[in-house]
Structure 1
Amino acid sequence: MSRFFYGSPQGIPRGEPAAGRRRRRTLSTTMAAVAASVLLTAGLAGPASAAPPGGQDALPQLAAAQPGTLQECETLTGFAYPATEIASVTRVAAGTVSNGGQPIGEHCLVRGTMNERVSAFDGQTYAIGFEMRLPVAWAGRYLYQGNGGLDGSVTPALGLTRGGESGLQMGFAVLSSDAGHNGAQNPLFGREPQARLDYGYQAVGTLTPMAKALITAAYDRAPDRSYITGGSNGGRHTMVAAARYADQYDGFLAIAPGFNLPQAAVAQLWQAQQWARVATNTADLNTAFTPQERTLVANAILTRCDGLDGLVDGMVQDSTICQRAFSVKRDVPRCDGDRDGTCLTKEQQAVIEEVFAGARTSNNKEIYSSFPFDPGLTQAGWAGWKFGSPYTRDAPAVGFIFMTPPEDPGILADLQGYALGFDVDAEAEKIYATSGIYTESSMSFMTPPDPTHLDTLRERGAKMIVMHGASDGVFSPDDTAAWFDELDRNYRGDAEAFARYFEVPGMGHVAGGPATDQHAGLAALVAWVEQGTAPAQLVASVNPANPEVPADWSPTRSRPLCVYPQVAQYISGDPENAASFACEDPHPGLGYGKR
C-alpha cells in the first residue's frame, strides 16, 4: 500500500447557484475533491418497479423472482472476452468472509486483468486489475464498487458501505478494480498518459461491459439491474459514471464525492500555506489549530447553533442558518496573551475564516468551494485531511496526476517544500491544461463532463443518491450542494424526480465524527429504482464502533437525514429517536431549543 493513498472530472463554467437555497458558498468551474480509501456498495431484493419513461433505452423490468443459477466456478476459467485474462477462479465457502459479524454466503471469486500493455512512456507494464465475486444466492443485480484514494489496489469486492450494508451479502455480483495501475506505480503513474485516463474514467468504461458478460457466463443471463457506488474518489467514479455511463447503470450512490478533485487538491496546497502562517512548526501543521483549539471552536458553534433545530443534543441539524449565526471573530475568545487552548489569536481567527471561505488566488479568483462550520471539526480525520494530507497526498497528486505537464519525480525528495512553495497564482491553471502527449486536462479526465445535465440518466428512469458529511475535511459539502442547486435549476426545479442529496450533520469524510453515520443508502436507492419509492428521508443511527461518538449520546440514537435543502427539526417525543423529528425547510429561529 502506497503512502500516497489519496482520494479524489472536463472543466465547464457553471452559473450562479439558485438563490436562497443554501448557506454561503461559491461555485467552482466544475466539481472537485480529494479523498481517502473507502468502499461503498449494497442492495436489496425487491419486485419490479413501474415502467420508467419511454424510449428503447428505458430500464428493463426485473425477472419475477427467478434468480440465476451459478455455474460451477471452474467453468469460468474459460471465460473469454477481448483483452481480458482470467488469472484465477476460486470457490469461497460461506462464512469465509463476513460483514458486521454476519457471514457472507458462498460465492465464486474471479481475478483477472484487462488491457495489459508495456508503456512506451516509461517501459512499465500496466493493466486494469479486477476481481469479481459472484454469489451462489444471486439477486439478479450487478454492482460496480468504486474504490478510494489513488486506487492502485484491488480492494476485496464485498460491496461494503460505511452505512453497514454489503452488496455481496445482499446478493449482488460485485466488481472491484485498481483503476489501471498497481500500488508500486503510485503516484508516478500520473506521468503515464493512458494510466491517467484509466484512473480518471476509462477503467470504469472498459470494465463495465466485461463484468456484465462475465455475469452472463456465470448465471446464463444478464443482470436485471446495474448499480455503481463509492465514497471519496469512489464517489467521484460514481459521479463520472452518472455523466459518462448512464446508459450502463440504473442506480448511482455517491458518498463524499471528490468530483472536482483537481480543484480540491490545489485548494489543499493553498490551505497548507495559510495554516503555515500561524503554525508554530510548519513541519506539523496541527500546531496551527490544535485539538484543544478545535474543541474550543466546536463548542462555540454548538453554543450558537445546537438549538436551532429545536433540541440541544450536541448536533447541528440546521447548518444553513448556523452559517449566518456563527462567527469565529465574534464567538470565539481572542487571546490577550499566549495561546493556551482557551482562545485564538487574531491571526488564527483570520486564517480559519479564510480557509472556510474557500481557496482563492491573490486576485480573488476562486479555486475551490467554501466549507461549512460544523462541530465535527474536532475529529482526528478532519485534522488529518487539513494538516497531514497536503504534504503526503495532495502534493504528489497535484504534481504528477493533475498538473499538465506533470512535475519531475525529483519533487518527491521534499513534498513539504513543494506544497508550501506551490505558486497558486501561476500553477493552478495547469489543471485545465493539455500538452503534447497529455491530450486531456485533469479537469477533463477526472471530473464529470457535464454533471448538471443528466439527460440520459433521467430519461432512462435511473436514479441517483448523493450523501456528504457536514464536517468533511477535504471535499466540501458546499460544493456538492452547489452541484445540486444547479442541477435543479437546469431541470426547472424537478431534479428530485431522479436525484437526491443528503447532508449528514457532524460526519467527516465518508464516515465518522460526532454523527449518526450508519444508513441504508444503497437499499434506499434500490427501492427507488425498482419499486419507485423515492426516499423522503433516510434514517441514520450511531455506529457503535465509532470512537468519536460523544460519551453522553445514547448508543441507540437515530436521526433522519433529510432531502436537501430540508433539515431535521425536533417536534416532540424521545430525543434519541428519529421519529421525534420532521424534515422541514430551514428557518431562522435563533432560540436555543429544548433538552
Structure 2
Amino acid sequence: MRTSRWTAVPAALVLLATGFPVATAAPSSTPVCAPLAGMQIPASVMSLPTSGGHVTSAADTTSVVSGETVEYCRVDADIFPVDPAAPAIKMRVALPAGWNRKAIMFGGGGYNGTIPDLTANVPFGPADQPAPLARRYVTFASDSGHQQGPAAPPSLDGSFGVNDEALRNFAAGDALKKTHDATRYLIRQAYRTKPAEVYFAGGSTGGREALIVAQRWPEAFDGVISAYPAWNNLAEVLYLGHLTQILSRPGAFPGPDKQTLLYTSVIAECDGLDGVADGVVSNPGGCHFDPRTLRCPDGADTGATCLSDAQIAAVTAMSTRLEWPYRIASGETGYPGFPFLSGADMRTPFLGFGTAAPANPMPLTSGYGMQYWDQWVKYFLTRDPGHDPLAVDPRDPGPWLDRISRLSEIQDRNDVDLRRFAARGGKLILLHGAADELVSDRSTSDYYRRVRAELGPRTTDGFLRYYVVPGANHANAGAPAFAAGWDSLSTLERWVEKGQSPVDPVVTDTRHQRTRPLCEYPEWPRYRAGDPDRASSFACTP
C-alpha cells in the first residue's frame, strides 16, 4: 500500500505566529499568509546540512493562470548555506486558496540561477488543461542555490561552480531536497496539515533533477515527470566540448543556410518512411541519411547549396557517438550524439549549432551547448575565468583528467536502481522529443534501457513509462515540427492515486492542431489510413 512521503514535523517545532502548535489547529484549505513573513525555517527540519532559512516576504497575490484568476499566498525565502562563502538558495512557494491537498515542485533549466515560474505548466503540458496552480496545487521551486548574473545569457552563468557547496546544490541536486523540506515546513505553517501527494516536474536540467529526486530521495515524491533529462551531465559536457572543438576548425562551421539545407534534405529523404509526408520523421532510427550526398564539388566550400568536406565532418561528428579512451568515476564511457534532424533545424538555431562558430572568447551567437561548455571549463573544471575553452580536449584532457573524474561523480546522476522508489509506490513518466537539439533522446533511451536491464521488464512496467515524441524538439522552443502537448500530470495523478496505469495516451501538436498516439518506447506511430491529423489513423509499431 502506498503511504504518504511527507512525515509530520514534531508539533513542538511547528508554531504559528500566534504561538499555538500546529497540531492543535484545524487543517484548512485557505493559507495563513501574513504571519509567514519573517518566519525562521529551522535547520532541523531539513535533512541535509544548512544554516536554516528565513522567509523574506509573504503576501496575498492574484494571477491569471490558464485563463482564470487564482488567489494565493506567494512566499519567498532564503535557505542559508553552511559555507559562508556560498550563496543562499532562493526559493518560492505559491500557496493557493482552495488548496487541493497536493504539491508539485518545478525543476529548472541550463545552469539554473533563477526561480522557475510557479504559474507555468509541466514540460510538454497541454494547452487545453489548467496548469498546476490553477488546479489549486501548491507549487514551489528554487534557483538551485545561486543567482544568475545580470550580464550572462539566460541559464548560461556557470560562475557559481567555483564554490563546492554551490556546485553540489546544483549538480548533485542537494538544493532540491533542502527546498522540498523547507516547503514542507511552510505548508504545515500555512494550512496546518501536510499534503496528501507531492509531485515533481521538470525538463532538461529540470528533467535531470526529476531523476535525481527519484534516485536519491525515493520517499520524498509520489510521482515524477522527467522530460528531455540531461541526466548524464558530465558525459554530455564532454561531448559538447568535442563538438565545440570540431566546429571551431577553419571552414568547419555550417552557417544558417547550410544548416537549413541539411534539415530540409533529411526531411525530404525520411519524412515519408512512416507512411505519410507531414514534416515529421516518426521513426528516426529508420532514417539513414548520408550527409555526403550534399558534398560540394571537390569538397570545397562553394556556397549555400552544398557542404564542404570540413562541414560534412562536423555534422557527422554531431550525429556520432563519442567514446573517451579513459575511465571516469561515474562509469560513463561516452555520449551517443544527435539525429541529423535536430541541431540543424534553424527554427531554433540557438539550441543547435548557433549562427557563429565557437571561438575564444565564446560568441553569444554560438550554440547553447558550446556556451555551456565554455562556462563549464572556466568555472567547474579549471576554476579559471580566463581559461580558453578550446584548449581542453575531451578526448585527451591531460592534467584535467582527475578533476573530470571527480566532477563525474557529482554531475552524472546515473543510478538505475530505482527499486526503493518503485516499492514506495512512486511512478515515473519519461518524455523526450525525437528532434531535440540540446539533449539527445538517444541518451534518455539509454537510461531507460539500463533501468529495464537492472530491474526487469515486470518491475519497470509497474512504475515507469517512457515516450519519445516524433518531431518534438527541446522544450517546444521556436517553431518545432511537432509542438508536443499532453496532460501528463492528470495521467500521473490517476496512476499514483487510483492505480490506473497509462493506456493509449494521445499527444497533441499544439502548433498544427493534430494528434498522434503517444507510443511507448521503442514503438513509434506508423500511418495506417484515414485523416493524417488524427491519432486514430496511426498505429504504434515496433
Q: TM-score range by the shorter chain?
A: 0.7 to 0.9
Report the counterpart of residue 145 of structure 1 in structure 2: 106
Pick the aligned partner of 2:237 from 265, 273, 284: 265
Offset, 1:202? 0.9
Q: Is residue 248 of structure 1 aligned with residue 248 of structure 2? A: no
Q: 1:573 to 1:224 in 2, by over 3 A?
A: same
TM-score (norm. length: structure 1): 0.75
Report the counterpart of residue 338 of structure 2 in structure 1: 371
Q: Is residue 427 of structure 1 aligned with residue 394 of structure 2? A: no
Code of the residue aligned with 2:41 in structure 1: it is: Y
Q: 1:566 to 1:104 in 2, by over 3 A?
A: farther
Report the counterpart of residue 354 of structure 1 in structure 2: 317
Q: Is residue 394 of structure 1 aligned with residue 361 of structure 2? A: no
> 8 Å contact 1:376–1:508 — kept in the other structure?
no
Query: For the residues of structure 2 that align with 1:131 and 1:569, how far apart are their CA atoms?
Result: 44
Report the counterpart of residue 381 of structure 1 in structure 2: 348
Report the counterpart of residue 492 of structure 2 in structure 1: 525
Query: For the residues of structure 2 that align with 1:375 and 1:126, how far apart are their CA atoms?
Result: 36
Q: Is residue 408 of structure 1 aligned with residue 384 of structure 2? A: yes
Q: Is residue 584 of structure 1 aligned with residue 541 of structure 2? A: yes
Report the counterpart of residue 12 of structure 2 in structure 1: none
Code of the residue aligned with 2:507 in structure 1: it is: A
> Where in structure 2 are the equivalents of 1:273-312 lying within 5 Å?
273-277=245-249, 279=251, 288-312=253-277
Q: Is residue 196 of structure 1 aligned with residue 167 of structure 2? A: yes
> 8 Å contact 1:386–1:474 — kept in the other structure?
no
Query: For the residues of structure 1 that align with 2:383 and 2:110, how far apart are their CA atoms?
Result: 20
Q: 1:320 to 1:536 in 2, by over 3 A?
A: farther
Q: Is residue 112 of structure 1 aligned with residue 64 of structure 2? A: no
Offset, 1:377? 3.1
> 8 Å contact 1:230–1:237 — kept in the other structure?
yes
Q: Is residue 462 of structure 1 aligned with residue 438 of structure 2? A: no
Moved more, 235-244 or 365-374: 365-374
Code of the residue aligned with 1:188 in structure 2: it is: S
Q: Is residue 342 of structure 1 aligned with residue 305 of structure 2? A: yes
Q: Deviations 1:136-192 (Å, cap 9, x if unpaired)?
A: 121111111111121222233224234245211122101111111122394321111
Query: For the residues of structure 1 that align with 2:133 and 2:398, how far apart are their CA atoms?
Result: 41
Offset, 1:92? 0.7
Name the SS for the 2:285 alignment partner.
Answer: helix
Q: Flag structure 1 segments of 5+ consecutive residues without an equivalent.
A: 1-50, 61-65, 281-287, 412-417, 435-439, 545-554, 586-595
Name the SS for the 2:245 alignment partner.
Answer: helix
Q: 1:432 to 1:542 in 2, by over 3 A?
A: farther
Code of the residue aligned with 2:385 in structure 1: it is: P
Offset, 1:481? 0.4
Query: For the residues of structure 2 that align with 1:292 and 1:139, how far apart are their CA atoms?
Result: 51
Report the counterpart of residue 16 of structure 1 in structure 2: none
> Where in structure 2 are the equivalents of 1:224-235 lying within 5 Å?
224-235=196-207
Q: Is residue 74 of structure 1 aligned with residue 53 of structure 2? A: no
Pick the aligned partner of 1:558 from 476, 501, 515: 515
Offset, 1:361? 4.4
Query: For the residues of structure 1 that align with 2:421 and 2:398, how far apart are their CA atoms?
Result: 32
Q: 1:194 to 1:362 in 2, by over 3 A?
A: closer
Report the counterpart of residue 446 of structure 1 in structure 2: 411
Q: Is residue 212 of structure 1 aligned with residue 202 of structure 2? A: no
Offset, 1:526? 1.8
Q: 1:524 to 1:343 in 2, by over 3 A?
A: same
Q: 1:261 to 1:103 in 2, by over 3 A?
A: same
> 8 Å contact 2:243–2:314 — kept in the other structure?
no
Q: Which runs of 4+ in 1 moved over 6 A?
A: 56-60, 362-365
Query: For the residues of structure 1 that align with 2:487 and 2:203, how far apart are their CA atoms?
Result: 14
Q: Deviations 1:448-484 (Å, cap 9, x if unpaired)?
A: 251x110111111111111112222221111110111
Report the counterpart of residue 48 of structure 1 in structure 2: none
Query: For the residues of structure 1 that align with 2:302 and 2:314, how far apart are their CA atoms?
Result: 15
Q: Deviations 1:309-357 (Å, cap 9, x if unpaired)?
A: 22121111112222xx32222x435435643222222332232112210
> Where in structure 2 are the equivalents of 1:466-505 lying within 5 Å?
466-494=430-458, 495-505=460-470
Q: 1:454 to 1:247 in 2, by over 3 A?
A: same
Moved more, 389-398 or 460-469: 389-398
Name the SS for the 1:182 alignment partner.
Answer: coil
Offset, 1:80? 4.5
Name the SS for the 2:165 alignment partner.
Answer: helix
Identity of aligned residues (%): 26
Query: For the residues of structure 2 that align with 1:104 and 1:358, how far apart are their CA atoms?
Result: 49
Q: Is residue 222 of structure 1 aligned with residue 185 of structure 2? A: no
Q: 1:432 to 1:582 in 2, by over 3 A?
A: farther
Query: For the residues of structure 1 that align with 2:243 and 2:342, how far apart are their CA atoms?
Result: 20
Query: For the residues of structure 2 that align with 1:505 and 1:278, how far apart are their CA atoms?
Result: 34
Q: Deviations 1:265-297 (Å, cap 9, x if unpaired)?
A: 2221210111223537xxxxxxx2233322322
Q: 1:255 to 1:375 in 2, by over 3 A?
A: closer
Q: 1:57 to 1:73 in 2, by over 3 A?
A: closer
Code of the residue aligned with 1:86 in structure 2: it is: V
Pick the aligned partner of 1:332 from 294, 300, 305: 294
Query: For the residues of structure 2 that align with 1:421 and 1:109, how far apart are their CA atoms?
Result: 46
Name the SS for the 2:344 alignment partner.
Answer: helix
Code of the residue aligned with 2:202 in structure 1: it is: G
> 8 Å contact 1:516–1:542 — kept in the other structure?
yes
Offset, 1:541? 2.2
Moved more, 126-135 or 200-209: 200-209
Per chain length, whose mean CA-contact separation is higher, i.e. which structure has more relative contact order (CA < 8 Å, sep 6+)? 1
Equivalent pairs counted in the alignment come to: 484
Code of the residue aligned with 1:246 in structure 2: it is: P
Report the counterpart of residue 93 of structure 2 in structure 1: 132
Query: For the residues of structure 1 that align with 2:28 and 2:410, how far apart are their CA atoms?
Result: 36
Offset, 1:196? 0.8
Report the counterpart of residue 8 of structure 1 in structure 2: none
Moved more, 452-461 or 362-371: 362-371
> 8 Å contact 2:65–2:133 — kept in the other structure?
no
Moved more, 331-340 or 386-395: 331-340
Offset, 1:112? 0.7
